[in-house]
Amino acid sequence: MLDAAWAVRIPLEFTVTRDDFLLPALIFVIALGLQLARLTKGAVMAEYFGLTLISSTAICALSYLCLASSAPLVDGRLMAMDRVLGFDWLAGYHFVEAHPMLKIVLGFAYHSLIFQGLYFGVLLGVMGRTDRLREMFWMFGLCGLMACAGTMLLPTLGPSKLYNIATDTGFVPVMEHILSGENLRFTLSGMTGVVSFPSFHTAMALAYIWAFRGTGIIGWGIAALNLVMLASVPFFGGHYLMDMIAGAATMLIALGLIRGAPALWKKPQAVPATANA
């Protein structure tokens, strides 16, 4: 509803086709069928995937709207802050490019996010951890909303654009197209990431380390994978170090809100009165 209301206020249009509804509809039909068949764990898994798919589409569309309504670019300010912290993005980029095997490993880790999400939904669904699925769903949503807000308030095109380095990520041309304000027509199925500050990949890497806790060797393996992903974020995601610091803060804020929110509506337990001696 927010996306639709915002889109009519600015010259940005999303093309929606029948195919955009087929996969979510199919997932929810499967969820209903599994629920009727009393296969509760399967139904919960399908529901989780369906809700996550819908929310990710809505948040991605919101990021386009936020960038189209954003403040002036702040690349120079973030680069200056990186240099104060001693982070040399260009040197790191050339180091990765000079080591092909390292580049393959970092690239694999960076692009593993969607597969981690699928595996998480299956594993925790089989384990019957509805509470953990619910927590991750809200973590994803809150981090996405904060990332959209950051994109509007502190937009950047990233260090690759600042150094005029062509990459295969493809998001910089989309961002420049949105910022141009011309011919802003996009299809839902063709959207790509346009979030820069904070780093959503950083937030999700830390979120999955947290979400897979207590799963033994699987959790340790996921943690190792995401630590490698964090090393890949500046060069494969086109991010400043400050983007990553903000991404980590975003995850911690979301986690604090999720863990603390139930206390807002839980009724305090009555303290039993003690008899006087």
Q: 152-167, pLDDT tens digit by residue?
A: 999 998 898 888 887 6
Contact between 69 and 61 (Cβ < 8 Å): no
Average pLDDT over residues 174-185: 85
DSSP-derived letter for residue 240 is -
Condensed to tens digits (0 to 9), the pLDDT of residues 67-119 reads: 988 889 999 999 999 999 999 999 999 999 999 999 999 999 999 998 999 99
Contact between 70 and 156 (Cβ < 8 Å): no
The set of residues, in sequence order, having a beta carbon less than 8 Å from that of 84 and lying 6+ positions away, is none
Condensed to tens digits (0 to 9), the pLDDT of residues 5-29 reads: 887 788 888 887 777 778 778 888 8
**98 alpha carbon, distance to own chain's centre:** 29
pLDDT of residue 168: 60
H/E segment holding residue 14: strand 13-15
Model confidence at 276: pLDDT above 50: no
Contact between 177 and 86 (Cβ < 8 Å): no
Model confidence at 262: pLDDT above 80: no
Condensed to tens digits (0 to 9), the pLDDT of residues 263-274 reads: 655 555 544 554
CA proximity to 13, closest of 247, 244, 182, 261: 182
Q: Which of 31-35, 38-42, 206-210, 267-271 has the lowest mean pLDDT?
A: 267-271
Rounded to an integer, what distance in angstroms lies between the CA atom of residue 119 and that of residue 218? 11
Q: How far is it between the farthest Cα atoms of the chain?
A: 81
Q: What are phi and psi of 95, to 5 degrees?
A: -65, -45
How long a stretch of residues is the chain? 277
DSSP states of 156-208 as a string? ---HHHHTT---S--HHHHHHHHHHTSS-EEEGGG------SS-HHHHHHHHH
Condensed to tens digits (0 to 9), the pLDDT of residues 219-228 reads: 999 999 999 9
pLDDT of residue 177: 84
pLDDT of residue 275: 45
pTM of the model: 0.85
Domain boundaries, the chain: 6-259
